[in-house]
Amino acid sequence: MFNRQIAQRIAFILISLTALLVILPIFAILGYIVAKGIGAISWEFLTSMPRNGMKEGGLLPAIVGTLLLTLGTGMIAVPIGVGAAIYLAEYAGDNALTRAIRIAIINLAGIPSVVYGLFGLGLFVIFLRFGTSILAGSLTLGIMTLPVIISTAEEALRAVPQEFRLVSTSLGGTRWQTIRRVVLPQALPGIITGIILGLERAAGETAPILFTVAAFFLPRLPSSILDQTMALPYHLFVISTQVPGMPIRIQYGTALVLLVFVLSMNVLATLIRRHYRKQRVW
């Protein structure tokens, strides 16, 4: 008995130590970037064009570019993703087609982001002649984001109790009326959470935009969806690896802005989920 208690204590201590080895660096990274980058943040840094080979000035075109790409990604991925989730949760039968769709989604989720970049280059930039553009980049990121949105939205739809559907049907509701008036409103918070998490991932991605939209240095704002644009993740890559003599302060400042941009979406998603979980009646 005594030995087993000691064994348990030792095991738990070892496990806790290794777990801390994983968890502490998360704090360390966040804290370090904030500490090193906060000094670079100023109104000018956020709202002006980069100057002098990006060694001075601000991030405006990269911030705007990332905003536009996130928006574009949402416009592509949300309607298709939510539609596909509705299909899977409400319409699809237990048949070969449904299995094929599920396998396809699993694979979409597993395709490396750089391969999405290749695909975007091959289809949108070259074949469809969109050029390296916001349009091509948004489409590429949108497709990459689809599986995240489909899976989370389907989960949210399935969580709505079956009884609501039965009641609505029994009151003369058609399938679509039931979905639109009962199921969707109830699943909406979960769907929105999933959308935000999907867009969060898209906003932070670099590899898919390398050959489809990102500009190395373009100190003006895009005027059409066929323009190239700078983007925060690619900009961070560029200034930390491709530009010699880049002030370290600006590098950390850029990393901080990107991190805040992305993680604030994460926090938003968590808050929405908490808020509605409390309100939910089922």
| Binding positions for another protein, 105-164, rule CB under 8 A | 105-119, 121-123, 126-127, 143, 146-147, 150, 161, 163-164
Binding-site member from 171, 223, 224, 245 for another protein (CB under 8 A): 171
The least CB distance from residue 216 to another protein, in Å, is 9
Between 19 and 223, name the residue whose CB sits nearer to another protein: 19
> What gap in Å lies between CA 150 and CA 63, rounded to an integer?
27
The helix, strand and coil proportions of the chain, stated in percent and rounded to the nearest 5, come to: 75, 0, 20
Site for another protein in 31-90 (CB under 8 A): 32-33, 79-84, 86-88
Residue 16 interacts with another protein (CB under 8 A): yes or no = yes
Taking the C-alpha atoms of residue 93 and residue 208, their distance in angstroms, rounded to an integer, is 34
Query: SS3 of 229, please?
Result: strand
Q: What is the smallest separation between the CB atom of 59 and another protein, expressed in angstroms?
A: 14
Binders of another protein in range 192-221 (CB under 8 A): 197, 200-201, 203-207, 210-211
- Cβ at position 4, least distance to another protein in Å: 5
d(CA 189, CA 146): 18
Q: Mark out the alpha helices in 1-56 (DSSP H runs).
A: 2-37, 43-47
For 224-279, the DSSP string reads STTS-B--HHHHHHHHHHTSTT--HHHHHHHHHHHHHHHHHHHHHHHHHHHHHHHH
- Tell me the site size for another protein, rule CB under 8 A: 107
Task: Answer yes or no: are the C-beta atoms of 14 and 24 closer than 8 Å.
Answer: no
Site string for another protein, 222-261 (x = CB under 8 A): -----------xx-xx--xx------x--x---x--xx--
- Applying CB under 8 A, the span of 46-54, 56-64, 177-185, 217-225 interacting with another protein comes to 177-185
Please report whether residue 96 would count as binding another protein according to CB under 8 A.
Answer: no
Closest C-alpha to 213, from 133, 116, 129: 133
In the bound complex, what is the minimum distance in angstroms from residue 237's beta carbon to another protein? 5
Which CB atom, from 60 or from 186, has the smaller least distance to another protein?
186
Integer Cα distance of 189 and 83 in angstroms: 16
Which of 116/130 has CB closer to another protein?
A: 116
